[in-house]
Amino acid sequence: MDTILNIQNVSKTYQSAGRTLTVLDNINFSVEAGSTMSIVGPSGSGKTTLLGLCAGLDRSSAGMVELHNIKLDGLNEDERAQVRNQYVGFIFQSFQLMPTLTALENVMVPLELRGERKIKHIALDLLDKVGLADRGHHYPSQLSGGEQQRVSLARAFSNKPRILFADEPTGSLDAETSEKVIELMFGLNKEAGTTLILVTHDADLASKTQRIIRIKGGKVISDERTTREN
């Protein structure tokens, strides 16, 4: 299988009050295309920082991040933005929908950014898949938390990403809604053959992925394969 994400000797440090704070320390792993993986760890362990580096939202202080054979460290912010638009999808704990756009428009944004035309039917299809075909003209504030996360899922898959990053995707949802969103997320992922990388506290959710990396204090403390198939 091809490698979609390659992390080599990655560290992240911050300067705070004259001190150097190491958030991630010499992280190494690679992810195969089409696989699912979760990053777990206690609060403050550096998992969200790691997700940000993997997705090209931030730059590492040392080491190399390679996504779809593109070395992200040498790119500026605008170049990384274009990589994200072409290859990456996101799902966030707090949904992160544009409050001034309708559900349909939120789903269309990544495609519009690419300059693609006649995309409305693609967005409507995706909304249909997440069960919100009739809510396309509603604004995020008019949707429940679960509905917002489903719109977020539709948006994440709209640009047919090679890799999907999900940061605590069920963190703001109740158990029942979480279950539905997880089901949808894995379903869509399987259908599209996308690589899925999850950051979560939820052991049950993590166990649904093929691989679990545990980090603590900015270091990988375990990297285990589950028995789960894609």
Partner 1 sequence: MNYKTSLNLRWLLLMAWRDSRRNRSRLLLFISSIVLGIAALVAIYSLGDNVRMDIDRQAAGLIGADLEISTNKPVEPQMKGLLDSLGDKRSEELYFASMVYFPKSQGTRLVQVRALKGEFPYYGSLETTPAAAGKSFRTRQAALVDKTLMLQYKAQVGDSVKVGNISFVIAGTLLKAPGQTGLSTSVAPAVYIPLAYLEQTGLSQKGSRINYKFYYKYNRPVDIQQLVKTLEPRLDKEGFNYNTVENQKENTGRSFTDLTNFLSLVGFIALLLGCIGVASSIHIYIKEKVGSIAILRCLGVKAMQAFLIFLIQIVGIGCIGSIIGAALGTLVQQFLPLVLKDFIAVEITTAVSWSAIAAGIVLGIFISLLFALLPLVSLRKISPLNTLRVSLNETDISRDKAKWIIYGLILLFIVFFTYLQLGEWLPTFFFTGGILIAFFILTGMAMLLMWLVRKFFPSSWSYLWRQGLSNLYRPNNQTIILIVSIGLGTFFICTLFSVQSILLNRITFSASGNQPNMVLFDIQSGQKDQVANLAKQYRLPILQQVPVVNMRLEQINGRTAATISNTDSNSRRGVFTREYRVTYRDALTASEKITEGKWHGKTEGATGTAYISIEQGWARRQKIQIGDTMVFNVQGAMVPTIVGSFREVDWNRIQTNFLVVFPTGILEEAPQFHVLLTRVASDEASARFQQAMVQQLPNVSIIDLGLVLKTLDDILEKIGFVIRFMAAFSIITGLVVLIASVLISKYQRIQESVLLRTLGASRRQILVITALEYFFLGALASLTGILLSLAGSWALAKYTFKTVFVVQPLPLVVVFVLICLLTVAIGLMNSRGVLKRSPLEVLRGEG
- The residues that touch partner 1, with contacts defined as CB under 8 A, are 48, 51-52, 57-58, 70, 75, 77-79, 81-86, 90, 92, 96-101, 105, 109-110, 112-113, 115, 139, 141, 155, 167
Closest approach of partner 1 to the CB of residue 162, in Å: 13
Nearer to partner 1, 52 or 217 (CB): 52
Closest approach of partner 1 to the CB of residue 210, in Å: 24
Nearer to partner 1, 54 or 220 (CB): 54
Closest approach of partner 1 to the CB of residue 23, in Å: 11
Closest approach of partner 1 to the CB of residue 161, in Å: 11
Nearer to partner 1, 78 or 176 (CB): 78
Closest approach of partner 1 to the CB of residue 151, in Å: 12
Nearer to partner 1, 29 or 139 (CB): 139
Give DSSP secondary structure letters for the chain: --EEEEEEEEEEEEEETTEEEEEEEEEEEEEETT-EEEEE--TTSSHHHHHHHHTTSS--SEEEEEETTEEGGGS-HHHHHHHHHHHEEEE-TT----TTS-HHHHHHHHHHHTT--S-HHHHHHHHHHTT-GGGTT--GGGS-HHHHHHHHHHHHHHT--SEEEEESTTTTS-HHHHHHHHHHHHHHHHHHT-EEEEEES-HHHHHTSSEEEEEETTEEEEEEE-S---
Nearer to partner 1, 117 or 121 (CB): 117
